[in-house]
Structure 1
C-alpha cells in the first residue's frame, strides 16, 4: 500500500513539473492560405505546428466554417486516439495522416465536391502552453466545355437605325465562372453606348457549375464585311488561368451603291453584224434591295444587270443605259456605255457578173463593198490569189484568161468580217481543139474505144463526131468549162477507122482526126516458141570457159617447165628425126615404175633404140 502511494506521488510530481516547464513556451501553427483542386480529385490540407508538449500532451482538431459562419468539427486526435465526427458532409471522405509527433498532420478529402469549397481550421491545443489555430481555404475548379460561336445568317444593312445582332458565344459547365471577350480582327470589343453592346448572361446549373452566354450587337459599317469576329474564353485552373478561342465568323453586310459601272462583257474588241452582245453593269455596293435595268436602241431592255442582244445589226448601234434603284432610300444612279456595230455590205462588181472580151483584147472590173472600217480587196482564180486591189485589169487576153474570178473584201480590224463576189470572164474566139496526147489508137476487133475532145472558144463551140465514111457518131457526154467544151464519144472497132471531132461556133471551126487500127486475131497455128536463154546466162558460160582454158594453159606450162612433156627430159629432141604427123610421140611415165614408154601415133610400143 505504501509502495503504491509512493508511485502516485511521483507521477503527480512529474506532471506538475512538466506543466510548470511548458508555461515558459508557446504553440505555433502554419498552414497554406489556399489549396486548389479540380472537381472530383483528392485534396490534401497540411497543418504544421510547434509545441513544447510531447505526444501525449497535444490535442489536434479539424473544423470547417459553415455558410452560417459557425465552426463544425470534423476530426479529433488526442494521445493516439483519433476519429472523424459522424453526421458531417465529410464523415466518410476524410482521413488524417500523422500523429503530431513530427509536428505536422495532413487532412485528406477524397472526391472533392463544389460544396467542399470552404475554410478549414486546424486547432492545436497544448495541455501546458495553450492553444493555436491555422486556416486554409479550399478552392475547387472545373474546366468548361469547348465554347461555341454562332453568327447571324441574315445580312445586316448599314442603314439600320438600331444595333444589329452579330452573333452569340456560349461556354458551359465551368467553375469558377468563365469569362468571354469578343474580338474583331485582333482587337477586343468593348461596349460603347449606341454603337456596341456586349451583353453576358450567366446561368448556374443544378450541379453548381456555370454556363455563360455573351451576345454581341453593333451598328455595322461597310468595312465590317471584311472583318472576322471570334470569342476568347478565359477560365481558372489550379495554379493559374487558361484561355481558348472559338472559330472565326464573318457577317454579310448590305451597303448602298454610290457609283455603278456599265460595260460590254462580250465580244471583246470590235463588234460586227451577226454577233451576240452581252452588256453588264454593277455597282460598288452590296444591297439586295437595289434593282437594275438596262435600256438601249430598238427596244433592247432588261430588268436585271445583264442584257443579251442577239444577231445585232448596225441599227443596234447606240447608247445603253443602266439604272440602279435603291428601294430603301429610292435613290437612283444611272450610267451608260456605247455599242458600235461594224458592218460590211455585199461586194459589188462592175461592169457586171459576166464579161466578154475578144482574144488579145483588154478589159477591167472593179470590186467594192461599203463598210464601217477600212477594207482590203483580193482577187482569186481557182482558189489561188492573182491580184490585190479593187481593180482587176485584163490585158492581151487568151483562152487561158477565161474563167471565174472571185473578189474578197475583208475588214482589216475585225476577224471574220468579209464579203465576196464573182465575175465570169469569157474570151471570144474561134474553136481551138487541144490536141490529145495521141490520136493513133490500136485496139482489138469488136471492142469499144472511148475518145475525148477538149475544145476552147467562145461562144461555146458546138461539137460533133463523125467517121471518114461520113457517118455520124453519137456524143456520149459533153461538159462546158470556163473556156470551152469537153466532149466524148464511144466507137466500136469493126475495122480500121478514122473518127473526126468537129467544133464550130459563129467565129470559125476546127477538127481533129483519130486513127483507129483494128488488131485482127491470128487464124494459123502459131510457131512454137523457143525458150531463149537469158543474156546473163550466156555471159556466165563464156566466162567459165575462159577460166577453164586459163587453168589448162597454166597446167601445161607447168609440166613443160618440169620436162614432163616434149624435149624437156633430155631423152628426146623434138627437132630431130622425122618430122610429120606420123612421127609425133608423147612421153608417158608410169606412177609405179617411173619408166618412160614411147608410143607412136598409132599406139605401138617402140624399142629404146628407136627413141
Structure 2
C-alpha cells in the first residue's frame, strides 16, 4: 500500500486507520434538507482537536464503500479536492471544515462523513442529505378544443417534474375529485427519469366520459409530493372544455321584447336551438304559409299591419319536426271625427258631432275643449257663442304604449249684431252714463252718434269681448234733451239703436233695460198693471171691513 503525504509528514499510519480499521470516535447521523438547485451546507459538527493533522470529507456508496471528496491540512491551510466527476467545481471547504455543495441534485441524497484526524485518533460526524423540489406545479398538455357528448375522450395529460419516490397525481372537475371508481374515468400513469438530474417526469393521462354538465366547467390536476417542510399539494392552472351536443329543443322569441305590438312597429323573430354549437340557420313560417323561409337565426318584419296578426313558427332545416311557435297580435286604433276641421255655424243652429273608435281592444275616449277636459262628449241642439272653440277627440289603448289617436274640430259660431242700450244718472245729477250692449260674431264695431247739445265728459270705454259679447260706455252732461245712437256692424249685418236722454235739469227715472220706445211702452203698461193691482187690493180690504162691521153690529 502506497503511503500518502500531506505536507511534509507521512500519513501512512493514518491512511491505514482511515481505510482499514473501522474503530473511531464519532457522532450520530445528522440530516440536512436542501432544495433542488440550492447550495447544500454541511457543518462538520466536531470540535477541532489541539493536535489536528488534517480533515477530510467522504460519502458512502450504497454498498458502504467510501469515496473521498475533500481534504484540508491544519498546518498548511491548503484545500484539495479529489477527482470525483460528479462533484467537479461544486465543492468548497471552510476553515472550520464546513463542506458546501453547490447546485444540489437528487443524486446528492446520500450519507456524508466529516473526518478530523490526529496522530493517534480519527473523529467522524456523519450527515445525511435530503434534496427536495421546492415547487413543482403540474401543467396540462394535449388539451382538446372541444368534446362530444356522451363519448369517452382522452381529456388531457397532467405532467410534473418530481423527485423520487413517486408522488401522486389527481384530477379535479369543478373542484371535485375525479375518482377511478367512476366507470367513465380511466387514469394511466407513466414516469421517466432524467439520467442527469435524476428527476422524474410524471405523466398522468385521463380519459373521461363528458356530459352537458361539464361545459365550461373548470378542470385541474394536482400533484402531491414531499418537500422540506413535509407533504405538499400543488394544483395546475384551470382549463375549460367546450362540450358539443345535438339540439334537442327549438325556441322562438320576439325582439325587442314588448308587452304589446302596434301597427308600424318593426319586429324580429329569433330562433334558438339548445345544442352546442347552436344551429346557425332555421326555417321561418309566416301565418298561413306552408313553405318555410330559410334564414339565419333571425327574421325581421318591418312596418307591420293588423293583418300580420297570427302564429309564427321556426324549425331546424334538417329536422323540420323540431319546431317552435309563438302568437303575435298587432294592435291597431282608428278614430273618425265627424265633422272635423274648421266648421262655421250660425247662432241657434243644430250641430250633431260624433267620434267613432275602432280598435283591437277597448279604448278610452277623452274630449278636450281649448285645452280643458270635458266631462262628456259635446252636443249642440242650439248653438251659442260660448260653444265656439277648438274641440279634440282623443283615444288611446292603455295596454299598448304609444298607441293613441286624436282628431280636432274648430267650431265658429257666427251671428248678426244685437243691441241693448241702458242709461244711468250720476247721484250728483250732473252726468248720465249710457251703455250700448252688443252681441254678435265676428266682433261688431261700435260707433256712437249724439243728436242735440251737451258736453261729453268721458270718451267711449269698451269692455273685453267675451263669448260674442261686449259693451261700449259713454258719459255725457246734456243741457237739453238729446238722442244717442249706437251702431254695431260686422261682416253679416249693420244694426242701429237709439236712446232719448233728457237734460240734466229735468228729473227722470233711470231705465236699466230700455232698448227702444216700444220697450218704454211695455214698462208703462207694467206700471199701470201694478197700480191696478194695488187699487184692487185696497177695495177688497174696504169691502172686508164693511162686512165685518155689519156682522159685529148684527151680533150685538
Which of 138, 143, 154 lines up with 2:129 in the alignment? 138
Name the SS for the 1:397 alignment partner: coil
CA distance in 1, matches of 2:41, 2:445: 132
TM-score, normalising length: structure 2: 0.57
432 and 344 in structure 1: CA distance in 2 versus 1, 3 angstrom threshold = same
- 2:441 matched to which residue of 1? 456
Say if 2:256 is the partner of 1:266: yes
62 and 411 in structure 1: CA distance in 2 versus 1, 3 angstrom threshold = closer
91 and 97 in structure 1: CA distance in 2 versus 1, 3 angstrom threshold = farther
Contact 2:419-2:488 within 8 A present in 1 as well: no
Contact 1:84-1:91 within 8 A present in 2 as well: no
What are the within-5 Å matches in structure 2 for residues 376-455 of structure 1? 376-389=364-377, 392-402=378-388, 405-423=391-409, 431-432=416-417
Relative CO higher for 1 or 2, CA cutoff 8 Å, sep ≥ 6?
2
Name the SS for the 1:369 alignment partner: strand
- 1:340 matched to which residue of 2? 329
CA distance in 1, matches of 2:225, 2:162: 11
CA distance in 1, matches of 2:365, 2:73: 127
- 1:154 matched to which residue of 2? 145
- 1:581 matched to which residue of 2? none
CA distance in 1, matches of 2:51, 2:408: 137
338 and 395 in structure 1: CA distance in 2 versus 1, 3 angstrom threshold = same
386 and 57 in structure 1: CA distance in 2 versus 1, 3 angstrom threshold = closer
Say if 2:494 is the partner of 1:510: yes
Which of 39, 42, 47 lines up with 1:41 in the alignment? 39
Contact 1:198-1:216 within 8 A present in 2 as well: yes
C-alpha displacement at 1:220, in angstroms? Answer: 1.8
419 and 511 in structure 1: CA distance in 2 versus 1, 3 angstrom threshold = same
CA distance in 2, matches of 1:128, 1:405: 134
CA distance in 1, matches of 2:339, 2:79: 132
Contact 2:179-2:185 within 8 A present in 1 as well: no
Which of 83, 89, 94 lines up with 1:87 in the alignment? 83
What are the within-5 Å matches in structure 2 for residues 48-127 of structure 1? 63-66=58-61, 71-74=66-69, 86-89=82-85, 93=91, 108-111=99-102, 113-114=104-105, 115-120=107-112
Point out the more displaced range, 32-41 or 59-68: 59-68
Which of 278, 291, 297 lines up with 2:287 in the alignment? 297
CA distance in 2, matches of 1:78, 1:284: 83
Paired positions, count: 417
CA distance in 1, matches of 2:110, 2:293: 80
What are the within-5 Å matches in structure 2 for residues 176-187 of structure 1? 180-187=169-176
CA distance in 1, matches of 2:397, 2:219: 58
- 1:364 matched to which residue of 2? 352
Say if 2:278 is the partner of 1:288: yes
CA distance in 1, matches of 2:43, 2:390: 117
C-alpha displacement at 1:241, in angstroms? Answer: 3.7
Which of 310, 314, 318 lines up with 1:318 in the alignment? 310
Name the SS for the 1:374 alignment partner: coil
1:68-117 alpha-carbon deviations (Å, 9 max, x no partner) = 8854345789999999674335688365989xxxxxxx773433643444
Contact 2:244-2:277 within 8 A present in 1 as well: yes
293 and 183 in structure 1: CA distance in 2 versus 1, 3 angstrom threshold = same
433 and 200 in structure 1: CA distance in 2 versus 1, 3 angstrom threshold = farther
42 and 316 in structure 1: CA distance in 2 versus 1, 3 angstrom threshold = same
TM-score, normalising length: structure 1: 0.52
Name the SS for the 1:31 alignment partner: coil
Name the SS for the 1:346 alignment partner: strand
Q: Which runs of 5 or more residues in structure 2 are unaligned?
A: 1-22, 421-437, 450-466, 469-484, 498-556
C-alpha displacement at 1:339, in angstroms? Answer: 0.3
Point out the more displaced range, 263-272 or 171-180: 171-180
CA distance in 2, matches of 1:378, 1:44: 102
Name the SS for the 1:319 alignment partner: strand
CA distance in 2, matches of 1:150, 1:91: 37
Which of 216, 220, 228 lines up with 1:230 in the alignment? 220
CA distance in 1, matches of 2:205, 2:320: 34
Q: Which runs of 5 or more residues in structure 1 are unaligned?
A: 1-25, 99-105, 436-452, 469-482, 485-497, 514-611
385 and 153 in structure 1: CA distance in 2 versus 1, 3 angstrom threshold = farther
- 1:218 matched to which residue of 2? 208
CA distance in 2, matches of 1:48, 1:127: 17
C-alpha displacement at 1:315, in angstroms? Answer: 0.9
CA distance in 1, matches of 2:124, 2:254: 91
CA distance in 1, matches of 2:494, 2:140: 105
CA distance in 1, matches of 2:221, 2:304: 57
Contact 1:118-1:138 within 8 A present in 2 as well: yes
1:186-233 alpha-carbon deviations (Å, 9 max, x no partner) = 333355675344555646275555555555442221111253222334
CA distance in 1, matches of 2:120, 2:405: 130
CA distance in 1, matches of 2:379, 2:215: 72
C-alpha displacement at 1:320, in angstroms? Answer: 1.2
Name the SS for the 1:432 alignment partner: strand
